[in-house]
Structure 1
Amino acid sequence: MGCSSSSTKTRKSETSLKAALIIQNWYRGYKARLKARQHYALTIFQSIEYADEQGQMQLSSFFSFMFENYAHVHKEELELRHQFLESEQDMRDRLDYVDLIDVPDSYNGPRLQFPLTCTDIDLLLEAFKEQQVLHAHYVLEVLFETKKVLKQMPNFTHVQTSPSKELTICGDLHGKLDDLFMIFYKNGLPSESNPYVFNGDFVDRGKYSIEILMILCVSFLVYPNDLHLNRGNHEDFMMNLRYGFTKEILHKYKLLLTATWKKILQILEELYAWLPIGTIVDNEILVVHGGISETTDLNLLHRVERNKMKSVLILPMETNRDYDTDSTHNKVGVTFNAHGRIKTNGSPIEHLPKHEWEQIIDILWSDPRGKNGCFPNTGRGGGCYFGPDVTSKILNKYQLKMLIRSHECKPEGYEICHDGKVVTIFSASNYYEEGSNRGAYIKLCSGTAPRFFQYQVTKATCFQPLRQRVYTMESSAIKILKERVISRKSDLTRAFQLQDHRKSGKLSLSQWAFCMENILGLNLPWRSLSSNLVNIDKNGNVEYMSSFQNIHIEKPVQEAHSTLVETLYRYRSDLEIIFNAIDTDHSGLISMEEFCDMWKLFSSHYNVLIDDSQVNKLANVMDLNKDGSIDFHEFLKAFYVVHRYEGLMKPDVTNLV
C-alpha cells in the first residue's frame, strides 16, 4: 500500500508540474503577444508623430518660397500678421514688458516677490496644484528676468558633480505638469545641494506648458548655478504654433489686451534663442537635446551666436534679395526677419551662417541608430541618424565618455545604446496614451555609473490589467492611423486599382502593404496591423476598399470635391500655421483675397493639383455673412473625421491574446 500511495503522489506531482508548465508557457506567450501589440501601437504613435514633425520642417522651405514670392501678389507694403510679427528691436525696457500691467486686487493667485527666493518656488507649486493661473504681470516679469540671466551664459554650461552633490538630468516634459510634480516628490526640489539639468522640450503637446516653464524659470532665477536649462527642438516659436503652446497662451490669457499676450509670445521667442544648447558634466558627459552628427564641431558650437537661431523654420539668409513686382521692374527688397515681418526696402536681418545653423539643427533634432554612419533623418525631416561609429568618433575627438540626450519617447523612460555611450532620457510618462510609457530621470556622480529612476503618473487606467491598457492604447493608435489613411483615400484607391489587374477588388497582403507604405510613408509593420485595418478573405487576400470602412471626412458642403476635402484635411495643420501668419489680432478672420492669394502660393509650392476655382468656391460658401472674410479656424474645423464606431476593435479574448 505504501508503494502504491507513493506512486500515486508522484504521478499527481508530475501532473501538477506539467499543468503548471503549460499554464506558465501559455501566460508567457500571452504576455509576449500583448507586449508585441503594445510595441506596434507605440510604433504607430511615433511614426505619425515624426511624420508630422517632418511636415513641420518642410514648412521652412515653404516660408522661404512664400516670402520670396509674396511681393508678386501684393504691390503695396506687405506684412505678415501674427503674434510674433513685430519688428526686431534692441533690449526692451522693463517698463514696456511689466510695469504697465497692473495686478488687480481681485486677483487671488500667487503673487511673486522679486528678487525671488525658494519661498516663491513653493508658492508657485502649490498654486499650480490648485490649477490657478499665474497673472500675466508675473509671467512677463519672470520671462524678462530669465532672459537677462540667460544672456550672460555660455552656449554650453559646465557642471561638476561630487558624492555630496549629484546631478539630476530630466528629459522631455512637454507640458505634463504631473510628471514634474512626481520628479520633485521623488527627487526633491532644486537647490544648491540638489542641482538639475532639464534637457529641452518643456512645452507643447501637454496642457500645462506655461506652468512648467514658470516653475523652471523661477527655480533657475533662484538657483542660477544649480538649475540648468537646455534648448530643445520645441523651444521654437514656430513649433509652438503647431503643437499647442501658442494656443495655450491665447486660451489662458485671452481676456487680456492683445498687446499683453503678444508681449508674452514675443519675449518667449527671445528667451528661447538665449537658452544654452548643451551641458557638459565633469568634462566627460555631453548633454544635448537631440544628438550629434559626423560633422559636429563642439569648438564651433561654443562660439556661435546662438541668439540668432530664432527658429528651425527660418532658413539662413546670407543677403537681402530684390524681387520684381511689376512690368516696370520696380525692385522691392523683401526681408523676413525673426518675427516673420515682410518689409519693403528693409535692411538685412542677422542670421547664422548656413553651416552654423546646420550644426545647431543636428544638436536639436538628431537621433541615434544601430547602423554605422550618418544619414539624413528622414523620419523627422531635420537633423540626422547617427551610428555607433559617429558616437565614438565625436566622443573620442573631444575626450568625452558619454552622450546623454532626450527627444524620443521610450517605453521604459530611458534607453541605452551604442555600447553604453548614448543614453536617451524621456521624462513625460503616458506620453501618447495613458499607460503607454514610463517617465524617467538620471542621477550622475563623478566616478560612478548613471542611476536611472522610473515612474508613471498614476491615473485610473494604470490600475487596469495589462490586457485592458494595451487595448486602450491600441484602439487610440489605430484610430489616428485610420484618420491618416482616410486623408489619402483618393491616392490609395488609385494605387490599389493599379495593382488590381483583374479588377477583383482584392489584393494580396503584400500588394496592399506595399501600397500603404508607398502612399503614407509611415514605415509601419502593415502585415501585422492588417487585421485591425482591413477585411481579409479566407484565401488571405485583402478587400482593399475596406481600408476606408466605418470612417469618412465630413464635408462642410456636399458640393465639395472629395479630393479637395482630403487635401484640406491632410494639410490642415500646415494651413493653420500659414493663415495664422496673416491674422493680426487672432480674430480668426482673413479676407477672401488673402485666402485666395495664400492658397495659390501654397498649392504652387506643394504641387497640390487642385483647381483654384474649387477652393475659391468653397471659401465663398464658408463666408457665411457674405462680408468678404472667413473665419479660418471654423473653416478648418469644418473638415473633420467621423468614426462610425468608436470601438474600432472588439475587446474579445481572441483579439486580445
Structure 2
Amino acid sequence: MAAEDAVALKNKGNEAFKNHDWPTAIEFYTKAIEANDKEPSFFTNRAQANIKLEAYGYAIADATSAIELDPSFVKAYYRRAVANTAILKHGDAIHDWKIVVRKNPTDKVAKAQYDACQKMVKRDAFLKAIEVADAPSAAEGLDLENMIVEDSYDGVKLGDKMTQEFIDDMIERFKTGKKLHKKYVYQIILAAKEILYNEPTMPETHIKEGHKLTVCGDTHGQYFDLLEIFRLNGFPSESHGYLFNGDFVDRGSWSTEIALLLYAYKMLFPNSFFLNRGNHETDDMNRMYGFEGECKAKYNERVFKLFSESFSALPLATLIGDKYLTLHGGLFSDDATSLDDIRKLNRHSQRQPGQEGLMMEMLWTDPQTMPGRGPSKRGVGLQFGPDITKRFCEANGLKAIIRSHEVRMEGYEVEHDGRCITVFSAPKYCDSTENKGAYINFGPEYEPEYVKFDAVPHPDIKPMAYANNGMMGMMGM
C-alpha cells in the first residue's frame, strides 16, 4: 500500500473524529498505521480518539509509539500526559508536561496543566499523610433536629419520611436550577447511607407477577437525560423497580441533583429501587472529575464528605432473579471467584477500591473480544474474554452478566455469545460523543427488552464545569 493510501485512511479517520464517532475514527487510524507504521501523527491521532473513549491505557501506548518514532514530537508527550492525568497517574504525567512546557514555553494550557499536576502530586501526598483509619463521620456534630428551615424556603417540607410529593417538587426545583435546603440534603444522604449500609454487598431481587425492573447504566450527572428515561419508561414505584448500575456522578454538571434524586427514591422504595457502586463513586475520581467541586459550589464541603461516606456504603452488585449478575465493571482475574465470594466480601472494611483486589475488579474491568485475559485498555484493571464469561456464568448458574462502565454508540451491546450485556444511559456523553443512551426492562420472565433513547436539551452548563483545574479543556485537546 502506498503512503498516499495511508494518508487517505487517516483523513477518513479525521472525518469520523470530526463527527464524534470515535470507534470508527480508531478503525481508520488503525488501518492507516497498518499501511504505514512509521508516521507518528497516525499514532497521536489514534491516541486522541482513545482518550475520547476513555481507553487511556491504549492512548499511552500509542503516544509512546509516536515518541519512539520521533522523540521531538510534542503532541505525543501532550497526549501521553493527558492520558496519565486522566487515570490519576500524576507522577508519570508531570514528566511529560514538563517536556511539553520546555519545548513549547508559550503554551498556556500546558503550563496550567503542569502546575495543576504538581499541585495534585502534593495534595495526594498530603491526603495520604493525614489518612486516618477510623476517621470520625462528617455527620458528627450535625444537629438536624434543631436545624431551622427558614420560612422563605419555597419548596415542599420534608418530615421524617420521604414522600412522593417531596420528590415531585425536588424534580421541578432541580430543573429550574434551584437547590434543596441544606437540612434536607443532609437528611437524604444520611438516610440513604443507612439503608445502603445495611444491605448485603450483593442484594438479590426477584420480579413478581405484574411488576417490572429497569436496569440503567452510567448517568454521569446528565440530569435531564435521567428525567427523559423516567418520562419514556415510567417513574419508579412499588411495582416498577429500577437498578442504577453505578457512575451516577462526575463529568456531567448535575451530579448532586442525580445523586440526591436517586437517594430520595431509595428512601421511598427501599425494596424495589437499587443502586450499585461505580468506579466514579470514589474519592480520587470525584476530586478529579467534578463531583467534589460541584458539592462545594452548590452546597459545602461537608455535603461532599457525607456523599463520600454514603458511596462506600453502596452495594457492589445486584443479582436479578438468580439469572443476571449486574455490576459496574466486569469479571475477575481469578476463575475461582464465585457469587459466594461477592456475598462474603466485606465492603465496609475497605472504603475505597484501591489498585487491586475484588472490589477494584468489580468496578473497573472490561470485556474484550479475544479469549483469555488481557491488560486493560484503560490502564487500570484488566480485560476478560468470552471464555472467561462463559465459565463464570456456567459455574454460577447465570444467563448473563450485565455491566456498564463504557460508552456504547447504540446505548447497549450484547457480546460474548449473549452472556455479557453492556448498558450505558448517558446519551451524547459529555456533550461530545454521538451515542444513544439505553436501558433494559425485565418482567417476571426475565427476558431483557432493550430500549434506546436520544439525549434531550439541557441548560447551557458545560460538562466538567466543576472539575479539577479545567480538566475539560485538557480533555478536549
TM over 0.5: yes
Q: Per-residue deviation at 1:440?
A: 0.7
Out of 164, 173, 183, which is 2:210 matched to?
Answer: 164
Give the Cα separation in 1 of the matches to 2:244 and 2:83: 22
Contact in 2 for aligned 1:97/1:144 (Cα 8 Å):
no
Deviates more, 1:206-215 or 1:297-306: 297-306
Out of 113, 126, 129, which is 2:172 matched to?
Answer: 126
Relative to structure 1, is the Cα distance of residues 435 and 388 closer, same or farther in structure 2, using a 3 angstrom cutoff? closer
Give the share of equivalent positions with the same residue, in percent. Answer: 32
Contact in 2 for aligned 1:273/1:308 (Cα 8 Å):
no
Structure 2 residue 291 is matched with structure 1 residue 241? no
Structure 2 counterpart SS, 1:247: helix
Q: Per-residue deviation at 1:109?
A: 4.0
Q: Per-residue deviation at 1:188?
A: 1.1
Relative to structure 1, is the Cα distance of residues 87 and 365 closer, same or farther in structure 2, using a 3 angstrom cutoff? closer
After superposition, residues 251-650 of structure 1 pair within 5 angstroms as 251-253=297-299, 261-295=300-334, 296-312=337-353, 314=354, 358-377=357-376, 379-433=377-431, 436-459=434-457
Q: Per-residue deviation at 1:458?
A: 3.4
Give the Cα separation in 2 of the matches to 1:392 and 1:246: 39
Q: Which amino acid aligns with 2:148?
A: D
Give the Cα separation in 2 of the matches to 1:46 and 1:184: 32
After superposition, residues 146-157 of structure 1 pair within 5 angstroms as 146-157=192-203
Out of 126, 140, 144, which is 1:98 matched to?
Answer: 144
Structure 1 counterpart SS, 2:274: strand
Give the Cα separation in 2 of the matches to 1:41 and 1:59: 24
Q: TM-score, normalized by length of structure 2?
A: 0.71
Q: Per-residue deviation at 1:32?
A: 12
Structure 2 residue 218 is matched with structure 1 residue 220? no
Q: Which amino acid aligns with 1:283?
A: D
Give the Cα separation in 2 of the matches to 1:187 and 1:444: 12
Contact in 1 for aligned 2:333/2:373 (Cα 8 Å):
yes
Contact in 1 for aligned 2:324/2:400 (Cα 8 Å):
yes
Relative to structure 1, is the Cα distance of residues 406 and 80 closer, same or farther in structure 2, using a 3 angstrom cutoff? same
Q: Per-residue deviation at 1:297?
A: 3.4
Q: Per-residue deviation at 1:251?
A: 1.1
Give the Cα separation in 2 of the matches to 1:448 and 1:231: 23
Q: Which amino acid aligns with 1:152?
A: N
Give the Cα separation in 2 of the matches to 1:365 and 1:289: 7
1:377-396 Cα distance to aligned partner (Å, 9 max, x none): 1x222221110000001111
| Residue equivalent to 2:5 | none
Give the Cα separation in 1 of the matches to 2:302 and 2:13: 52
| Residue equivalent to 2:72 | none
Contact in 1 for aligned 2:321/2:446 (Cα 8 Å):
no
Give the Cα separation in 1 of the matches to 2:289 and 2:452: 26
Structure 1 counterpart SS, 2:203: strand
Out of 246, 254, 264, which is 1:208 matched to?
Answer: 254
Structure 2 residue 243 is matched with structure 1 residue 197? yes
Q: How many residues align?
A: 376
Q: Which amino acid aligns with 2:22?
A: A
Give the Cα separation in 2 of the matches to 1:358 and 1:55: 23
Contact in 1 for aligned 2:216/2:244 (Cα 8 Å):
yes
Relative to structure 1, is the Cα distance of residues 458 and 265 closer, same or farther in structure 2, using a 3 angstrom cutoff? closer
Structure 2 residue 57 is matched with structure 1 residue 47? no
Q: Which amino acid aligns with 1:383?
A: G
Give the Cα separation in 2 of the matches to 1:33 and 1:391: 35
CA RMSD for the aligned pairs?
A: 3.5
Q: Per-residue deviation at 1:87?
A: 7.2
Unaligned runs of 5+ in 1: 1-30, 63-73, 254-260, 316-356, 461-572, 578-632, 649-657
Q: TM-score, normalized by length of structure 1?
A: 0.52
Q: Per-residue deviation at 1:41?
A: 3.4
Q: Per-residue deviation at 1:60?
A: 9.2
Contact in 2 for aligned 1:97/1:141 (Cα 8 Å):
no
Relative to structure 1, is the Cα distance of residues 109 and 88 closer, same or farther in structure 2, using a 3 angstrom cutoff? farther
Structure 1 counterpart SS, 2:389: helix
Q: Which amino acid aligns with 1:180?
A: L
Give the Cα separation in 2 of the matches to 1:53 and 1:143: 33
Structure 2 counterpart SS, 1:98: coil
Relative to structure 1, is the Cα distance of residues 54 and 291 closer, same or farther in structure 2, using a 3 angstrom cutoff? farther
Unaligned runs of 5+ in 2: 1-11, 27-47, 57-81, 93-121, 459-465
Give the Cα separation in 1 of the matches to 2:451 and 2:143: 40
Relative to structure 1, is the Cα distance of residues 54 and 381 closer, same or farther in structure 2, using a 3 angstrom cutoff? farther
